[in-house]
Structure 1
Amino acid sequence: MSLKKDYASRKVKDVIDSVSKLYLGKQEPGYLPNGTNLEELDHLYKKIIQLADEGNINEAENELYQFLDFDDENLFELALSFYVHINEFDEDYLEEHDFSKDEILYGTQNIVRKFKGLTDIDFLFK
């Protein structure tokens, strides 16, 4: 992995970890399907992870955005967990499937802004 690619992965991880600490009170997001009252969320999470793992990352992200309710903390954590998951893909896999680390960073930034209504969070993304 080149230095630039490694930096991009670390940057995404650092941003997501910071956001998780600030807004979820956790070291890192960790949405786990639990099959209880959140069956719809569990189904969504499994679906978007499967799509991403199959290389349909853009489709997975679009599916995520269709279901977002910006008042639901569980969805916030689910969205961050999705970006953690796809950040683990190497740059070659992402490029092969028309995605990039920059898009992961942008998606994370967009999620934080929409969920938290914040516009003054640019310091996290520099």
Structure 2
Amino acid sequence: MMTLSQISARMGILAATIVLSATLLFVAPQAHAANNSSYYKAELAQPTTAKPKLLRSVYVKCEGSNCRAPMASTAPKNMCISIVREFGAVTAFTAGERVFTAEEVAACNSDNAKAIAKN
């Protein structure tokens, strides 16, 4: 037979486990989403007031000349070109830890100009 103190201790452990589980259930996804929301970062040559747009399966949000988007299953260059097409020329672009060189940024802007000329 269990004593009252043994039951009390087990109830305390159960309550602590429930609180910890609930915390991980709600906090961990939010932390991941916060980190994930700015995988792509672009600096526009000209500020924009455009609303967030769905590009390559993720929403790209721009405030002034800063654009941000979560990771997508596309090559960084393709995302850069898509941002240029939708929001205008970029002066800087990063994908996670990868910072585009001046030549890569110029290629994003140039590839967009070539695509527009073809249409």
TM-score (norm 2): 0.34
Larger radius of gyration: 2
TM-score (norm 1): 0.33
Quick check: which one's strand share is greater?
A: 2
